[in-house]
Chains A and B, each alone.
Chain A
Amino acid sequence: MEKKPFLSFFVLSSLLILVLLGFVLPSGVRSLVIQMMIFSIFAMGYDFSFGFTNQCSLGHSIFFGAGAYGAILFILKFKLGVILSLVIGMGIGFLLAVILGLICVRLTEAYFVIVTAIIASVFHLLAMDMTWLTGSDDGLTVTLPTISFGFTELSLYQPMVNYYFVLFFLILTYLVLNKMLKAPLGKIFVSIRENEKRTNFLGYNVFGYKLIAFVVSGVFGALAGGLYALTLRYASADYFSFYWSILPIVWCLIGGLGTLVGCWIGVMLMSLFQYYVSAWFTYYLLVFGILILVILGVSRKGMLGYLLSLRSR
């Protein structure tokens, strides 16, 4: 518990910096920061299932892609508003997470990772195949309507609006997930992670709780996908690819599993890395692969986990 002040200091200062930065950043860096914030939402959601209940899903690209296409398609085909489409995207993510969860969550660890990966690859193949719906590799572009609040109208085409729109969801995600983890639910999650059998003996419905974690994680994956698609005004079948399932794992591993906010560090480092390395090196994925091995070799607790263990000593 003595870890608490350090963590809340980290969170508060990061969020404060983000709020202030919105005013001063030049546009190029601003879009990079927007991307980081979206990825942080994805990563926090992922940490919720991997870091707290030890479910290493390799199928989160499904939720990311579903959220993205949910948001884009409902604007494109039904002319719905931005927020409503985003929520519908999350709803689709929710449904998919429930269905996948019912299939996968009760499997043992080895089966879980493989089956989630298989289902995600088939989704990717289907998304590539159904060109009439998804636009396949070329993807779909969309013109966003303005968001109307009654007294004022905002357009996501203004970089400033886009920035604070995403920041709002980042803070919301943090508050919701943190609230759930501070509640008794979070304690049960940790006890499942530490010893699943014993938690079961204590009378808790392990399957139910793991399903909750999986579904919540999927919903925030869909939110991140939706925001990403709205920011780029674009969605393609590539969002379902395996790369998007591996990224959240890497973010969480670099930043620190089971800390909820540690992944922010991972996202920041990886985004900078990606931004600069992919610019001068064609075989960027080669470096990415080496990086995965290095991270696993150095420590599986991540940077924030390492810092926390120093403080509690």
Chain B
Amino acid sequence: MPEWLTTVLFLLVNGLVWGLIIALIAVGLSLIFGVMGIVNMAHGDIYMIGAVIALTLFPYLGNFWLGLLIVPLIIAAVAIPVERLVLRPYEGHYSVTMIATTGISFILQQVILATYGGIPKQMVNPWPVTFNLFGVAYEGYRFLIAAISILILMSLWVFLYKTSYGILIRASIQDRDMASAMGIDVSRVLMTTFVLGSILAAVGGVLAAPVTQVFYLMGNDVVLLAFIVVIIGGLGSLAGTLVAALGLSSLEGVMSSVLTPIQSKAGILVVMIIILMFRPRGLFGEREG
């Protein structure tokens, strides 16, 4: 194989692995928007907190995988009061939710800065195995990330499309008032959705902790990409989000072979703007209803 092809394929695989983490985060973002009408600026910080908690607990647990199970519980305990007490009155007013969640985002970042400190740290690799990928040594843990993400996304799909509670959530996405009129406890559905979305982001954070720098602003980059993904896929469309996450991340991966990371971000922005010009509601977004 020629060398440039190896490089491109390598970056493509790397991009896809990141794409799966982004997909976890963006699907949560899209779910929260679709069901609750919240534009969640604090979503990236939930991702950050997931990573920080996993890193902090690691010395006590001594086991990475145990952290992966405990973090969702902690996040749920934080997310429920936030949704109930802070965000509930603003749901459906997009601008207001965006401002309110920005406030929450500032609070979360500063609390982590005050307690955890501002120095970037990295998690030890929980599965230090390398594979030979196109003649290059490739971390086995990254494949594990991909496998776990796919597993989570598949179980999310089963939950939303094959269980009765999933039907309730999807009914609330389609028409919240009608769902409420049919006797669905929409209030509980809203809470479940917010917790579910937050857990997806936090799990993304835990999975990403060994392959990225863990510090209090790590969510900003990721939430930017997640928002671009959600916009391109169409707000509230889960399938669109998944397709856009994988497509964009592999595109960014390939672009980064010739451009600097920031130039490839700008390139993705151009892609987003072009798509929005032809489809103002994203690729899979619904028409005005």
A residues bordering B, Cβ < 8 Å? 56, 58, 103, 106-111, 113-115, 117-119, 121-122, 125-126, 128-129, 242, 246, 249, 253, 282-283, 285-286, 288-293, 296-297, 300
Contacts and interface: CB of A to CB of B under 8 A. Distances in A.
A125 B262 contact: yes
A193 B102 CA distance: 24
Given A103-B276, A113-B94, A285 B109 contact: yes
Interface of B: 33, 37, 39, 41, 86, 89-90, 94-96, 98-100, 102-107, 109-111, 113-114, 220, 224, 227-228, 230-231, 235, 260, 262-263, 265-266, 269, 272-273, 276-277, 280-281, 288
Contacts of B276: 103, 107, 111, 115
14 contacts: A58-B98, A107-B280, A111-B276, A113-B39, A113-B94, A117-B41, A117-B98, A126-B262, A286-B106, A286-B111, A286-B114, A289-B104, A289-B107, A293-B107
B48 to A, nearest CB: 15
Contacts of A286: 106-107, 110-111, 114
Nearest to B105: A289
A283 B113 contact: yes
Contacts of A289: 102-107, 110
A288 B95 contact: no
Nearest to B235: A110
Contact of B103 (A58, A106, A107, A290): A290
A296 B231 contact: no
B90 A296 contact: yes
B90 A126 contact: no
Contacts of A109: 94-95
A186 to B, nearest CB: 21
Contact of B95 (A56, A128, A242): A56
Instruction: Tell me whether chain B's interface is mostly helix, strand or loop, or mixed.
Output: helix
Contacts of B107: 286, 289-290, 293
Contact of B224 (A121, A292, A297): A121
Contacts of A300: 96
A117 B266 CA distance: 14
A283 B266 contact: no
A17 to B, nearest CB: 31
Contacts of B230: 114
Contacts of B272: 115, 118
Contact of B106 (A110, A282, A285, A296): A285
Contacts of B100: 292-293, 296
B129 to A, nearest CB: 34
A132 to B, nearest CB: 13
A253 B265 CA distance: 32
Contact of B231 (A114, A246, A282, A288): A114
A296 B235 contact: no
A106 B99 contact: no
Contacts of B104: 289, 293
B110 A129 contact: no
A108 B236 CA distance: 14
Closest 7 CB pairs of A and B: A289-B106, A292-B103, A56-B95, A286-B110, A289-B107, A110-B94, A129-B262
A293 B220 CA distance: 20
Nearest to A289: B106
Given A106-B280, A289-B103, 7 more contacts: A58-B98, A110-B33, A111-B276, A285-B109, A286-B111, A292-B102, A293-B100
B88 to A, nearest CB: 11
A124 B37 CA distance: 27
A125 B265 CA distance: 9
A288 B106 contact: yes
A122 B235 contact: no
A114 B269 CA distance: 13
Identify which of B90, B107, B260 gathers the most chain A CB atoms within 10 Å of its CB.
Answer: B107
A282 B265 CA distance: 32
A277 to B, nearest CB: 13
B230 to A, nearest CB: 8
B1 to A, nearest CB: 33
A111 B263 CA distance: 23
